[in-house]
A and B are shown apart, each in its own frame.
Chain A
Amino acid sequence: MSNPKVLLVDDEEALLTSLQRRLQLRGFNVIAANRGESALRAARRQDVDVAVIDVKMPGMSGKELLLALKKEHPHIQIIVQTGHGLFDPRDKQVADKIFSCLAKPCDFSVLKQTIIDAYNKKKAL
């Protein structure tokens, strides 16, 4: 199994770094971004398999980001992390574009497993 390339997007720098470190330790290829815009740029530079996106961010919101990512890279798998009700996964606009929606803060093991599942799905495409 090749290493999945994961794009982590969160405005909480501390969380971003610790998650990045932990995922990298487990062999994931992690790109961290604290803004939607920079995440989009990073995705253009490298081929990203799975994007883990926080919903509420300054500047570009998680929803805008995922729509933009999906538009530019149709095969990218999106995992949304949310801590509030602003994001509705049943929204017709996004419902078929996200792989999973996780409540924040979520168990590291759950996150890891979800990323692996998403990667497997992408590979199967």
Chain B
Amino acid sequence: MADHYQKTYSWIRRHIILVIFLVLSIPFILVITIVYFTGYQYIKSSITQQAGFKLADAAIEVRSELDAGITGLCKTMSFLSESETMSGLQEEETLARIFARLEKESGDVFQDLAVVATDGQVLAGVFPYGRVYVDFSREEWFIGSCEDRVVVSDVHFDSRNNPYFIISVLHDHCQEQAMLRATVNGLWLSAFVENVRLGRTGEAFLVNSKGIAQTRSRMGKDFGEKLNMVFLEPQPDGTIRMAYHEQGVEMLAAITSLKSNSNWFLVVRQEKEEAIEDILMVRMVFIFGVILGVIFIMVIGYLTSSMLMKKIRQADEKKCEIDEQLIQSQKLAAIGQLSSGVAHEINNPLAVIGEEAGWLQDLMKDADFKDFKHAEEFRDSLGAIVDQVRRCKEVTHKLLSFARKMDSNFSEVNLKEVVDEVVEMREQDAFLDNITIEKVYDKKLPIIFSEPYLLRQLLLNLVNNAVDAISKGGKITIHARMGPQEKVLISVTDNGFGIPRENLNKIFDPFFTTKPPGKGTGLGLSTCHGIITKLGGEILVDSEVNKGSTFTVVLPAKPNPGNKTGEQAAGVE
């Protein structure tokens, strides 16, 4: 019905959707931003912290292993050196025995063993690999050994490029000082850290205070490699947690110094991305939330706009309907005015024609006309004129009553009587067409205050239509009853051919008829409409093609306000 608004509808729809999207999106973006910069970043930093703790824990564990290993070696050497006299140590045999015991106790860790005098001269030594040292006085470990009892040196390389470090133990028996010096295989040291596994990118290695790698690492560090590391203040547990970039990759590291060699630092590190991969879960939830939000906004936008459009469409359809009704009633009013004007103008000439013809008829009865040879034709002709005048008169009367200009006289009406009268008028014709008319009355029908003549005409028109709708053989039911809200309902139901949908809104138009020319004036239902409006009621139509129609007249049941004997029980048939 409101299809011509389609363009407007799409325009409105687009705008509604746009506005809803904007209105919903702005707070949504705000919330997302706030969540990202507070919640998400907080979670990220706490996960980073957790990862740092994990690395630190690993570092402490590896450190204690390393410390235990190195300290074990130192203790063994101390014990052996303490258990021998100075002179004993200087004997090659004793030294060889000690070396054998060392090798036995700690495996293939010690590579050689020497006794060094306080001036750096080698007093005795076991050198299975054939190294000969002459003077250690300039070496770092030696300088340290003069100050501390036990010294662990940095990692160095021998002539065959094998890594090693030195443990030296001060031996002072009876004022005689010398150092027991052992070379330890660097690979042994490296083995502690090389096998540390932390995810895919995690590794551990030792580095000295100058940033020189002291071990190899899982990820490819090698002995003696110079690393670019910055050391920070240690945490309370002795570790340093830090994040730094190496070759463009962000690393997370925990660094701790060894207790057995404060010059060595154990580095346990991992690529930050892997260390904090738990954040991926959070990020996914976050992204999922965002997507869900966007979908939600779209669905809400769509649904809301659909709903609004539906409402608008309904309102428009209703408006169209009301407009149509308005046009219909205006049309009826205009036609009514016109036709009543025409009827008025025709009434008087019609009356004159009728009376003149009647006068001629009167004259024809006179004896003078007995011999008039055309007397019979004259009579027929005059009769025809009178008949046609009567027919015209019917039309003008109907027109006038349709235009509500007929004079009327409201009085108390017994519905049953009116219906009976009307049915009586048509019963004979109906019977000939094999149509039965059934009357159904409610037990308590009030005496209503209405216009008996108009009411009779109204019902007669409806019954006539019902009879015409049934060609041969059928049933008409007239049912008079009390309706809700002080209304009286009189319905005339037939089982005739019904009214097609497209005609339903035209049936009350004056001169609309489906009867053959000359059979119907097209004024019956429009007159009914005029009458019912005048009587202050309404008329309802319910029709189905080939099933029949029901016309229901709704009349106010309230009795004459000036009459006390309003309601009486109507007779029951």
Are A22 and B350 neighbours in the complex by a CB distance under 8 Å? no
For the complex, is B348 an interface residue (Cβ under 8 Å from A)? yes
Q: Which chain B positions have C-beta within 8 A of A83?
A: 344, 347-348, 400
**Residue B226 at the chain A interface, CB threshold 8 Å:** no
Q: Say whether B362 contacts A15, CB under 8 Å.
A: no
Q: Does B446 contact A (CB under 8 A)?
A: no
Asked whether A103 is an interface residue with its Cβ less than 8 Å from the other chain, the reply is yes
Residue of A nearest to B347 (CB): A83
Please, how many angstroms separate the alpha-carbon atoms of A84 and B354 in the complex?
Answer: 19
Q: Mark B364-401, 1 if CB is under 8 A from A, else 0.
A: 00000000000000000000000001100100010010
Given A21-B359, A84-B405, A104-B348, 19 other A-B residues pairs in contact with their CB atoms under 8 A: A12-B351, A14-B352, A15-B352, A18-B352, A22-B355, A22-B362, A25-B359, A25-B362, A83-B347, A84-B340, A85-B400, A85-B405, A85-B407, A87-B407, A103-B397, A104-B351, A105-B393, A107-B390, A108-B355
A45 at the interface (CB under 8 A from B): no
Judge whether B269 is part of the interface by a CB distance below 8 angstroms: no
Per-residue A-contact encoding for B394-426, CB less than 8 Å = 1, 0 else: 000100100011111110000000000000000
Q: State whether A18 and B355 are in contact (beta carbons under 8 Å apart), knowing that A84-B405, A103-B397 are contacts in the complex.
A: yes
Tell me the dominant secondary structure on chain B's binding face: helix
Cα of A106 to Cα of B397 in the assembled complex, Å: 10
CB-based contact B407/A105 at 8 Å: no
Are A84 and B351 interface neighbours, CB within 8 A?
no
- Residues of A contacting B359 in the complex (Cβ-Cβ under 8 angstroms): 18, 21-22, 25
Nearest CB of A to B408, in Å: 8
B406 to chain A, nearest CB (A): 7
The answer to whether B358 has its CB under 8 Å from any CB of chain A is yes
B362 contacts which chain A residues (CB < 8 A)?
A: 21-22, 25
CB nearest neighbor in A for B410: A90
Structural contact, A15 and B351, CB atoms closer than 8 A:
yes
CB distance from B570 to the nearest CB of A (A): 25
Task: Report A106 CB to chain B, min CB distance, Å.
Answer: 8
B172 within 8 A of A: no
Q: How far is the CB of B546 from the nearest CB of chain A, in Å? A: 39
Judge whether B356 is part of the interface by a CB distance below 8 angstroms: yes
CB atoms of B410 and A105 under 8 A apart: no
Which partner residue on chain A sits nearest B397 by CB separation? A103
Which residues of the partner chain A approach B350 to less than 8 Å between Cβ atoms?
A: 105
- Nearest residue (CB) in B for A87 is B407
Residues of A within 8 A of B409 (CB): 89-90, 101
Tally of B interface residues using CB under 8 Å: 25
B299-358 contacts to A, CB under 8 A, are: 340, 344, 347-348, 350-352, 354-356, 358
Measured between alpha carbons, how far is A85 from B336 in the docked complex, in Å?
Answer: 13
Select from chain B the residue with minimum beta-carbon distance to A26: B362
B404's nearest neighbour on chain A, judged by CB, is: A85
Indicate with 1 or 0, residue by residue over A7-23, a CB within 8 angstroms of chain B CB atoms: 00000101100110110
Cβ–Cβ < 8 Å partners of B354 in chain A: 105, 108
Expressed in whole angstroms, the minimum distance between the Cβ of A4 and any Cβ of chain B is: 18
Which among B347, B356, B397, B408 is the interface contact of A18 at CB below 8 angstroms?
B356
B358 — which chain A residues lie within 8 A by C-beta?
18, 22, 108
A12 & B407 in contact (Cβ 8 Å cutoff): no
Contact residues of B between 207 and 258, Cβ < 8 Å to A = none
Q: How far is the CB of A103 from chain B (nearest CB, A)?
A: 6
For residue A77, CB closer than 8 A to chain B, the reply is no
Residues of B within 8 A of A12 (CB): 348, 351-352
Give the interface centre of B389, B397, B404 by most chain A CB atoms within 10 Å.
Answer: B397
Chain B residue at minimal CB-CB distance from A80:
B407
Most buried by A among B351, B393, B406: B351
CB within 8 Å of B: which A85-122 residues? 85, 87-90, 101, 103-105, 107-108
Query: A15 to B355, Cβ gap below 8 A?
Result: yes
- List of A residues within 8 angstroms of B389 by Cβ: 105
Residues of A within 8 A of B393 (CB): 105
The distance in angstroms between the C-alpha atoms of A85 and B405, with both chains bound, is: 4
Q: Are B347 and A88 in contact (CB under 8 A)?
A: no
What 3 A-B pairs have minimum CB-CB distances, sorted nearest first? Answer: A105-B351, A85-B405, A18-B355
B341 to chain A, nearest CB (A): 10
Q: Which residue of A lies closest to B360 (CB)?
A: A18
Bound-state CA distance A101–B347 (Å) is: 16
Distance to closest chain B CB from A39 (angstroms): 18
